[in-house]
Structure 1
Amino acid sequence: MPPATTAPAPLTHQPLRGLVCVLGATLLFAYNDTTNKLLIADYNVPLVTAIRYISHCLLMLALVAPFQGREMVRTVRTRLVIVRAASLAFGSFLISLAFQRMPVPETTAIAYLCPVLVVVLSGPILREKVQPVAWIAALVGFSGVLLIARPGGGLDPLGVIFALGNVIVATSYNLLSRVLAHTERTMAMLFYSALVGAIGFGIFLPWTLYGVAPTQLQLALFASLGVSAWLGHYLFTQSYRYAPAALIAPMTYVHLLWAGLLGWFVFGHAPEPIAIGGMLLVALAGIISAVRPRKGQRPAQLASEDGLTEKAG
């Protein structure tokens, strides 16, 4: 467990470390989606979401608070931290409602409009230099998503609305993750994400706490929601400390690969050949984004381009 610190770790240009973090995060997110899909078949969405965030919050209080102390609740831009947390919580709720009405591949494909928007907006909003290769990587990855999901036929209109709503709030969450990485501690952002979700959905428990008694397996799945969310978002937040949004965004498409594998393992849905081709495009997008040309530039210039020279407060 990391020791308490007086300042957040500074942003550094370590793209490989950032890519490792985002790969681990997307695997945990795919597991979380699969578990969520299983549980909402028997329980209502607000209840499942509340248990996820409450368990996440309790884990942090039990395992992190003794080491971090006041540092876990200390923030510089508290309002933005809360907006980021609310974006994540509301996005979780919307995507769960979408999962109730649509298959996982189609829902996830719509959700992956978000990384494309992050690439588009990271220039004007985050002042990061978005090179043409990063645009190509985003487009290749999005093409792979379309091949995997092939949306457009027989989708529930209300489910599509929920999924598009998730895209909007998830884009806000992604951009704020990068902005706040300059001044906020990872553990503090994780704690406020858990706290806001736990309070926001927990207050409705008297009206949502109903349904059949869970089995031992379901209890384990409920508990794992909080663990996978905590670890996934920790790795995701860390990835933004090591690499710019334009690099992280295309790599999040690997989520589709993990989701396809877990979907085959849990639900028995083997990917079709055209979907496998889409997964290969997703992997290609990650490779392109990781090795995009940056010749003739000194490390200081690279840091400046990636917005990493701002001193963390």
Structure 2
Amino acid sequence: MAHKKVARTVRPIIPVLVFFILISAFCAYRIYEPLESQVEPAEYRIIVPSGATLRTVARDLEEHGIIRSADLLYLYGRLKGVFLKAGIYKVHAGMSIPEICAVLESGKQEYIAVSLSEGLTVRKIGAILEKNGITAAEDFIKAASSRTLLSEFGIPAESFEGYLFPDTYNLDFAMSAERVVRILASNFFEKIKTVEALNGKTGRELHDTVILASIVEREYRLEEEAPLIASVFTNRLKQNIGLYSCATLVYVLTEIEGKPHPDSIKIEDTKIDNPYNTYKWAGLPPGPISNPGLTALKAAASPPETKYYYFRLTDAARGSHVFSETFDGHKEAAPVVTKRAAN
């Protein structure tokens, strides 16, 4: 009788056990089977901020078609004690949930490739860095004015403007602004070792060259014309003649006064009372107006000897200029074909 009682008790439990076994097998299949099995499954770079929850990350992955179920990833992560590490990670739909979780807690994040072109300002670089999740623009601008960092690099200025070398950088998610400044500035000082004319210059001499190069950078379009433009400005500096650079005025309007980039330079703009206005004041402005590349740095460090004092844009499509020794020759040159003012 006792044996029959046990048998009757076990029989109702068997279907329940089978059900749970089937459910477990199904969940295991869903967890370990990738969403896609194509040769090139969909990829996604997921940003995991500091303090992100497993549920939030799971939903993000489901929304971008990387996993079937956010609930399954969350369940697996809780059971396995998955600990997320902040960063940017590349995952794809050909990965199983355990594989994705392993990536998210590995700390081996994807580098973010950021290309900084020649002629950008500190403010514009900051905006690019923020857009790519590297560091906040405000923090970067503040770090670029750090007296401690400036002293560390021996820069006799109030900002790293001009010393942040344009290049492609592999950076980390949520880096400190100070570290980014150090990386860009260190690259600058490494790159200028290749410019023979810069070797042996004092900090002040180098700074003056960087200021000139930053203006040349914003003025030239054709590489072969950069040295000629540098020669024009050098000749003017020697004669204490205003540089009359539109680029410096654009810097005043956009970077100092915070206005939109102008379509053209107006007469009233040339009268702005600002030391960066090279229409109003002779000599170099107080500091660089952009971050120049090697072409502009080489041109400014060793400009050719010419008798040119003027240049004028003549071909907007090519970006070519005509160079003149006299103002009469400058006036007789082909008319400017863009709204950009003549220099």
Query: Above 0.5 in TM-score?
Result: no
Bigger proportion of residues as strand? 2
- Identify which of structures 1 and 2 has the higher relative contact order when contacts are C-alpha pairs closer than 8 Å and 6+ apart: 1
TM-score normalized with structure 2 length: 0.19
TM-score by length of 1: 0.21
The structure with the larger Rg is 2
Q: Which has the higher helix share?
A: 1
